[in-house]
Structure 1
């Protein structure tokens, strides 16, 4: 499942970082340009950058929610932001 960032102007940055990762995988495994990067990625057992971003955002959310009492202003700001989008 490929999740994309909700901010279109960041797409080129995400694609660039993923290209760097793919080039690093090709270098590490000595792949030719015609060989599949997916098989090499799986063989190296690397987590996708999409999954890493998701986990980082999820962990940040959990940390914020676990300290909700300490960060009531953040919670209120989040609620206001979400209500303004509907």
Structure 2
């Protein structure tokens, strides 16, 4: 079970300025994307709108360029 983490909404500007919090900022943004998707689906379900959150983890990008070699993983095998 994932542990719960409080997102300091009143301190997001401080987190954005600090290089030490890059992974935390990324995690908060991904959680926000998911939570917004869930809420959006609840708002517009009756209108037939489908809301989907995608996992960008398997897409080729340079998002992890600052994480260091230990935190980087090879691209996912897409089965092709």
TM-score (normalised: structure 2): 0.32
Higher-Rg structure is: 1
Higher helix share: 1
